[in-house]
Structure 1
Amino acid sequence: MDILEIKADERVQKVYFTEDTISVNIMDGRTITVPLVWYPRLLAASPEQREKWESCGGGYGIHWSEIDEDLSTEGLLRGAPAPRSQFTSKL
């Protein structure tokens, strides 16, 4: 197999948390791990709420309906924290 034949597949496979990080396994075998503090809604959510995620956007996004949070693998790969908002200032 030629190196050029390898294609990145950035669709979400699994989402899991530690006390201070969120990790996302993507279909091509990579794992993205970022600080949970970057996403205030997820940081403030209970472990049970964090576990209630669903794939969206054709598999390239993660949605938590209970806490109204959405992330994309593109944003996670770029290292993009959530935009500052009124929610952030209330924490």
Structure 2
Amino acid sequence: MSSDTTDTEPCALRAWAEARMVFVELTDGRVVGFPADRFRRLSAASDEALKGVEIALNGYALRWDSLDEDLTVPGIVAGRFQLSLPAAAA
């Protein structure tokens, strides 16, 4: 029996941004969200630019063309962020 990433890693079905949060609906039924401020380019982006998120690479990445930013869905699900939470929020 073989296993590949399509059997174990969920993909994005839908992505959206609201109130500086980015949300991803996954193929396994979960919805995960993260603060845009956890990534350098997203933290500097306007609310309108954040809303430009698109699903790429057959659901394995999120893409913001206007920001030239790509994030992997497996990385988001695993909590691999560029920036840590501010001390007050931790």
Q: Is the 8 A contact 2:62 2:70 kept in 1?
A: yes
Q: TM-score, normalised by structure 2?
A: 0.69
Q: Percent identity?
A: 27
Runs of 4+ aligned residues of structure 1 deviating over 2 Å after TM superposition are: 16-21
Check the 8 A contact 1:9/1:26 in 2, yes or no.
no
Q: Show the counterpart of 1:75.
A: 75
Report the structure, 1 or 2, having the larger helix content.
Answer: 1
- Inter-partner Cα distance in structure 2 for 1:39 and 1:82: 5
- Runs of 5+ unmatched residues, structure 1: 1-6, 84-91
Please, which runs of 5 or more residues in structure 2 have no aligned partner?
Answer: 1-6, 84-90
Matched residues, number: 77
**In 2, are the aligned partners of 1:22 and 1:33 still within 8 Å (CA)?**
yes
> Structure 2 matches for 1:34-53, cutoff 5 A?
34-53=34-53
Q: Which amino acid aligns with 1:62?
A: L
RMSD, aligned CA: 2.0
User: Which of the two has higher C-alpha Rg?
Assistant: 1
